[in-house]
Amino acid sequence: MPIKKICCIGAGYVGGPTCSVIALKCPDITVTVVDLSQQRIDQWNSDKLPIYEPGLDDVVRQCRGVNLFFSTDINTAIREADLIFISVNTPTKTFGNGKGRAADLKYVEGAARMIAEVADSSKIVVEKSTVPVRAAESISNILTANTFNKPNVKFQILSNPEFLAEGTAINDLLFADRVLIGGEDSEEGQAAIEELCQVYERWLPRKNILTTNTWSSELSKLAANAFLASRISSINSLSAVCEATGADVSEVARAVGLDSRIGPKFLQASIGFGGSCFQKDILNLVYICEGLNLPEVATYWQQVIDMNEYQKSRFSAKVIESLFNTVTDKRITLLGFAFKKDTGDTRESPAIHVAKTLLDEGAQLSIYDPKVEHSQILDDLTHPYVTDEPEQVKKSITIHSDPYEATAGTHAIVICTEWDEFISYDYERIYEGMMKPAYVFDGRKILDHKNLQKIGFIVQTIGKRLVRNSPNRVWGSKVQA
C-alpha cells in the first residue's frame, strides 16, 4: 500500500525541515511532526520558527495546515501513521560506559517504546536521528520485545541518515546528492525500502537513491562526516605551518584543491569545525573502533578531534598574546556566535571555546550574532561545562543587537562566524570608535585584510603570517594597552 500518512517524532533541526520538504513535494501525504515540548510545537505553528534555515519559512507557510501539521498529540500521530521517522536528539554520553564518545540513545529508546505501546497496526519505522549507531538494531529489539501481545502488528526498521548541512538544509533536501536507505535483506525489508524510495522519488531521480543493508547505511553517515571533518583538520594543521613559515594557507588550499582527486570543498582554514554532527560522529566512530579492538583506527580518528581542539586553543592564545599577553578588564568583541553562517545553532561552536578562554583571562566580552538568540548565548556561556561561576560570567558579557554598538570602545574584534554581513560593515566607522591600537582577529578569513590595515587596524588571521602596520601610522588619541 502506498504511504498516505507520515509521523515524525522530533521537531528539531532534522525532523522539521525534512518533513516540511516531504509535505511540499508530496501533497497527497499527510505529514505530522510531533514533539513532547509544547513550546517548540508552538514555535513551529507561529510566524517565528524555532530554527533559522534559509527557505524554510516559505516551505512551512505553503504546507502548514494543508498537509503539514505540528502537534504534541504523539499517540494519535503514531496510531494513524503508515511510516514513522524517529528524529530525536542523540547526544554524546556524559557519564557511564562510553562517556565522551558513545552516543546516548535514551531518546531513541523512549521513542521506540512509545511506538510499541501505542501502535495498533503494522508500521515502517525509520531511524533518522543525527547520530545513528546501531540505532536501527536497538529500535528493532525494543519493538519486538514490547509487542509480543500484538501478533498482528509488525514493524520494518529502516535506516535513512540525513546529510544536511545547516544553512543549506532546504537546498540539500530539494537537490540531494544522494538519499541513503538501509534495511533488512528480506522480502519484507526490501518492500519497506521500496515504499520509502517511492516517497523520495516524487522529486529526486532514482539514481540518487542508494539502498544498502542497515549497518552500511548507518556507518556511511559516520564515515561521511568523519571524512569531511578530517579535511578541515588537515588544512587547519597546515595553517600553523603557514604562519610559521610565511606561506599563505589560502594559496596552499587553492593549489591542493585544484587536484581533481581532492577538490576545493572543506579546505577553508578557520578556528575549527563545530555543529551537532562532526564531533559527535567522529567520537562515536572512535568508540566503535575501540569496541572492535581496533586501537590504531580509533587513534587515527581521535587525532582529527584533537587537531580541532588545538586549532581553537591556538587561535584563542594568539588573541591573548597579541594583546600584550593580558586581556584582564579589556573589552573584546566577538562577532558571530553560531558555529557557522546561515544558522542560529551554537552546538560545539568554536565561539564558545574562544569566549571561555577570554573570560577565564578576565576579559569583558561584547557579543553580536544576527541570528542566535541572546538567551542561547547566555545559556551556553553559563553552562556548568563552561564555568563554575555563572554569575561572574553574566557580569562580564554584554550581548548586543547592533554590531556598531558591540564594537564601540572595544580593544579588539574577533570574527568567530563567517556571516556575509560582517564583510560589508563600515570599518572606518568601527575603527574610529575603538580603543587604539585596534585589533581584528579574523578567525574565518572573510575580511579584506589589506583594506583593514590601510584604515589602521592590526590584523591577525588564520594561516598567514602577520604583516605589521607601518610604524609611521598615527593611531589617534585613544591609546591604551
User: Which residues does the annotation place in the binding site?
Assistant: 10-15, 35, 40, 88-92, 129-130, 166, 277-280, 347
- Whats the size of the chain, residue-wise? 481
Residue pair 28/68 in contact (Cβ under 8 Å)? The answer is no
Cell readout for 110 is 523512549
Cell readout for 328 is 584582564
Cell readout for 480 is 591604551
- C-beta neighbour count of 168 within 10 angstroms: 15
Q: Which residues fall within 8 angstroms of residue 452, CB to CB, at 6 or more apart?
A: 427, 440, 459
Grid coordinates 519559512 are at which residue? 57
Residue 277 designated active-site:
yes
**Cα 150 from Cα 54, distance rounded (Å):** 44
- C-beta neighbour count of 320 within 10 angstroms: 17
Grid coordinates 499527510 are at which residue? 30
Instruction: State the catalytic residue, choosing from 7, 26, 242, 277.
Output: 277
Q: At 280, which helix (H) or strand (E)?
A: helix 278-291
- Furthest CA-CA distance within the chain: 86
3-state class (DSSP) for residue 63: helix
Q: Which of 207, 195, 275 is nearest to 5 (CA)?
A: 195
3-state class (DSSP) for residue 459: strand
Q: Which residues fall within 8 angstroms of residue 379, CB to CB, at 6 or more apart?
A: none
Residues annotated within a binding site for NAD(+): 10-15, 35, 40, 88-92, 129-130, 166, 277-280, 347
Active site residues: 277
